[in-house]
Amino acid sequence: MRNGFLAAFGYAPEAVASAPGRVNLLGEHTDYNEGFVLPIALAQQTTVSLGHAVGDEFTLRSEGFARPLRFRLDRLPDEPFGRYVFGCVREVARRGHSIPPLDMHVSSELPMGVGLSSSAALEVATLRALRRFLDVAIDDVEIAQMAQRAEIEYAGVRCGIMDQMASSLADTSHALFLDARTLETRLWSLPAGTAVIVIDSGAPRTLLSSKFNERRSECEEACARLGVASLRDVRRVAVVESLPDPWRRRARHVVNENERVVRAVAGADGARLGRLMNESHASLRDDYEVSIPELDRLVSLLQEHPAVHGAKLTGAGFGGACVAICAADRIADVAAEVLGDYRRLGGRGRLLAPPELLA
């Protein structure tokens, strides 16, 4: 990674940091309702390298872009990619640190736009690199909070905090049980003998930010109608049945989904975690309405495989990747057989995890 910066700028970087993407096992669209989530970090990372720039502009280069992006801290860049980095630099400045103009280089192993939090990985890697460069103490929870603010205020998606917390605190061998209200976390071991598999459906995530923000507003409306501060405060699903649609179904998904996460971490084996994931997908499809036919098809193929305990879409939905939990010793068969069947049905799927099966 150092070489990318060196080749781009002609000198060695002064600070380098990486952060992973995540896949969420359970607890979808619950984080911005102050609920529970269960993501796990991926092996794929984004790396940000920095050095002092000559002149008064920031220069951002990435392997994915032919031309450098230049910006100053007093004007939001037009390019969406630059806005994430700009937002993180601004967050650090807002914390009271003075930041000189920087040369910045980004390289990433994470596919973008498939629901594996490439943007959170970019934000957390940028903030970690700035922390190292400035030699300041910022803890990992605060890094996640700064990253979330950067995304909401500068990139325009009213996301919850799951992705940034996962990128900042999770590891690849445990899932991270997060209470999005208190930001308390606990590492949770996957059931014995199971492994996580992630397959991209190949369907692009169209309409994502507008639909995401619409769901968030619907949850706020459901809260107003129920007279609660947050859907987290609704414990019994019967309470939401009095609401008219679509608020009834949106709220029902959130209340049931929180319950599923709590039941999983209370001690689920592979079969039980799988059932909870299957229920989560059905709820995301029917009540929250964030699935699309390609995701439903891929999830069904995964669920029908005898070595798979359960499967669901992962992340915001509307396209992108699916996650399944399966018997660890059958993971190669599951990947080959499900991808083969999906392709025969016309899908353009590709395997994204586990790393040992990626060529």
**Which sequence positions are flagged as catalytic?**
163
For residue 163, state whether it binds ligand GLA (rule: CB under 6 A): yes
Note if the bond before 39 is cis, omega within 30 degrees. no
Minimum distance from residue 47 beta carbon to ligand GLA (Å): 21
Structure tokens at 165: 């917390």
Lookup result for tokens 């796990």: 40
Among 69, 88, 129, 159, binds ligand GLA (CB under 6 A): 159
Task: Tell me the Ramachandran region of residue 150: left when phi exceeds 0, alpha when psi lies from -120 to 50, beta otherwise.
Answer: alpha
For residue 200, state whether it binds ligand GLA (rule: CB under 6 A): no
CA distance 267 to 176: 14
Minimum distance from residue 297 beta carbon to ligand GLA (Å): 21
For residue 28, state whether it binds ligand GLA (rule: CB under 6 A): yes
Among 23, 29, 38, 205, binds ligand GLA (CB under 6 A): 29
CA distance 246 to 211: 14
For residue 160, state whether it binds ligand GLA (rule: CB under 6 A): yes
Among 17, 92, 316, 325, binds ligand GLA (CB under 6 A): 316
Stretch binding ligand GLA (CB under 6 A), from 21-29, 41-49, 80-88, 273-281: 21-29
Give the total of residues touching ligand GLA (CB under 6 A). Answer: 11
Minimum distance from residue 262 beta carbon to ligand GLA (Å): 16
Structure tokens at 212: 């995401």
Stretch binding ligand GLA (CB under 6 A), from 24-32, 60-68, 342-350, 351-359: 24-32
Minimum distance from residue 248 beta carbon to ligand GLA (Å): 20
Q: Are 289 and 84 in contact (CB under 8 A)?
A: no
Q: Are 355 and 206 in contact (CB under 8 A)?
A: no
Stretch binding ligand GLA (CB under 6 A), from 5-13, 28-36, 67-75, 106-114: 28-36
Among 40, 162, 264, 326, binds ligand GLA (CB under 6 A): 162
Q: Which is nearer to ligand GLA, 24 or 283 (CB)?
A: 24
Among 4, 16, 21, 31, binds ligand GLA (CB under 6 A): 31
Structure tokens at 104: 């910045």
Report the relative pairing of strands 194-200 and 350-353 from DSSP bridges: antiparallel
Helix, strand, or coil (residue 101): coil
For residue 150, state whether it binds ligand GLA (rule: CB under 6 A): no
- Report the largest interatomic distance among the alpha carbons of the chain, rounded to a whole angstrom: 64
CA distance 169 to 265: 18
For residue 32, state whether it binds ligand GLA (rule: CB under 6 A): yes
Report the relative pairing of strands 194-200 and 308-313 from DSSP bridges: unpaired
CA distance 88 to 92: 6
Binding footprint of ligand GLA on the chain (CB under 6 A): 24, 28-29, 31-32, 159-160, 162-163, 315-316
